[in-house]
Amino acid sequence: MEDRRGAERHTEHFPVAIMIDGPIGLDGQTLNLSRSGVLLEAQGKIPVTLTIKGERYQGVLVRAVQAIGSGLMTYAIQLTDTLLP
């Protein structure tokens, strides 16, 4: 499968904190429903502040996926600041 990401990736692991910035308003529609949740698509952005190694970066949450089995969440954040040189 072709990798369409524009930036080169670097594998590093260290603690990070994510804070949601301000009130969030999303408008959309449901795609499907179940007894335990709803899948939806919406327009709008979720602005965040990401703190890595004591430095703060502004960005937008672009994807959140829960791993089946472990229950851990994976978050993709598009930064407005450059993280790596």
Are 46 and 18 within 8 A, CB to CB? no
Residue 40: inside a domain, yes or no?
A: yes
Burial class for 76, CB neighbours closer than 10 Å (0-12, 13-18, 19+): exposed
pLDDT digits (tens, 9 = 90+) for 17-54: 999 988 888 999 999 999 999 999 999 889 999 999 99
Asked whether residue 57 carries a pLDDT value surpassing 50, the answer given is: yes
Number of domains in the chain: 1
Are 34 and 51 within 8 A, CB to CB? no
Tokens of 13: 């692991």
Percent above pLDDT 90 for the chain: 52
Residue 1 is predicted with a pLDDT of 47
Residue 10: inside a domain, yes or no?
A: no
- The number of beta carbons lying within 10 Å of the beta carbon of residue 68 is 6
Residue 27 is predicted with a pLDDT of 94
